[in-house]
Amino acid sequence: MKIYEGLEHFIPVKNAVVTSGTFDGVHLGHQKILKRIRNIADEINGETVLITFWPHPRLVLYPEEHNLRLLSTFEEKTRLLREFGIDHLITIPFTKEFSELTSEQFIQNIIIDSLQTRKLVIGYDHRFGRNREGGFEYLKANIDKYTFELEEIAREDVDNVGISSSKIRAALEEGKVEVANEYLGREYELNGIIIKGQQLGRSIGFPTANIHITHDYKLIPCDGAYAVIAQIEGNNFKGMLNIGMRPTVNGSSQTIEVHLFDFEGDLYDMRVCVKLKSYLRPEIKFSGLEALQQQLKKDKEEAISILNS
């Protein structure tokens, strides 16, 4: 997959099959579109082109909203798009000026002139142009004056309850990991670097690796304990993750710590991908370390049962 920062670096390809959107999370609804453009491109000996925007439009249009968290970092999204057969990924810088483009200017300047699109495929809820004025109905009403073919992925073709990134975010914020994973078509993941912590877990037989998430816009699920699979240097380890303030030891800031089952060794500075399987329980303040230790033993038993099933 070739990646372009801006349209000026892209050279039009023969029979471009195009789609556009933020594709946050690359969930099952997105995957339906990605698979469809891949199939079309194969049928007409073309190439797939995906336009995405960065920063996320809401971060630019509503800067006063500081609570938007994304399901995927740009690196995570790029990896997933590559897996689904995208040939060309174009990132358009989303600015105030760009947001003022009318739907007609977006179609003419980008879809037609810059990409020379053979076929455009969009999802049922995709909007574009100033004030989100453009969509499938707009394109359908004006298709006779365009040089490309048009196809919509209908809502009923995706899921009868509708899958959206906002629904997945809400599920993760409520600890509904299984719901989020079902909509994503895979486990929600946290990618980061292992850093040194206070090493309190070692004193009670549950050593943990502290994970630093490098992008502050990445959505961190609600505080609590989780059953997880951790990938480190190509190896998978079963374990349990804790997200929270560590009230039992009077923690003052949120930490993300993973305890790996049947593992010994130094993990500092290594990259880790933690895949969330299930939410075990909310974070609790215990009477002391001994009570915490007893609960962690129960958590481990439950996590092992979930991960083995």
Tens digits of residue pLDDT in 66-75 = 678 999 999 9
Burial class (CB in 10 A: 0-12, 13-18, 19+), 124: middle
Q: Where are the domains positioned within the chain?
A: 2-158, 187-308
What does the DSSP assignment read for 106-131? Answer: IIIIIIIIIT-EEEEEEETT--BSGG
Task: Check if 2-158 and 187-308 are the same fold.
Answer: no
Rounded Cα distance between 201 and 208, Å, is 6
Query: Phi/psi at 268 (nearest 5 deg)?
Result: -55, 135
pLDDT of res. 301: 98
pLDDT of res. 131: 84
pLDDT of res. 196: 85
Specify the CATH number for 2-158; select among 3.40.50.620, 1.50.40.10, 3.40.630.30, 3.30.470.10. Answer: 3.40.50.620
pLDDT of res. 160: 53
pLDDT of res. 158: 58
pLDDT of res. 66: 66
Rounded Cα distance between 293 and 205, Å, is 8
Provide the percentage of residues in the chain whose pLDDT is more than 90. Answer: 74
Q: Which residues of the chain, if any, have pLDDT below 70?
A: 66, 155-161
pLDDT of res. 143: 93
pLDDT of res. 272: 97
Question: Which class is domain 187-308?
Answer: mainly beta
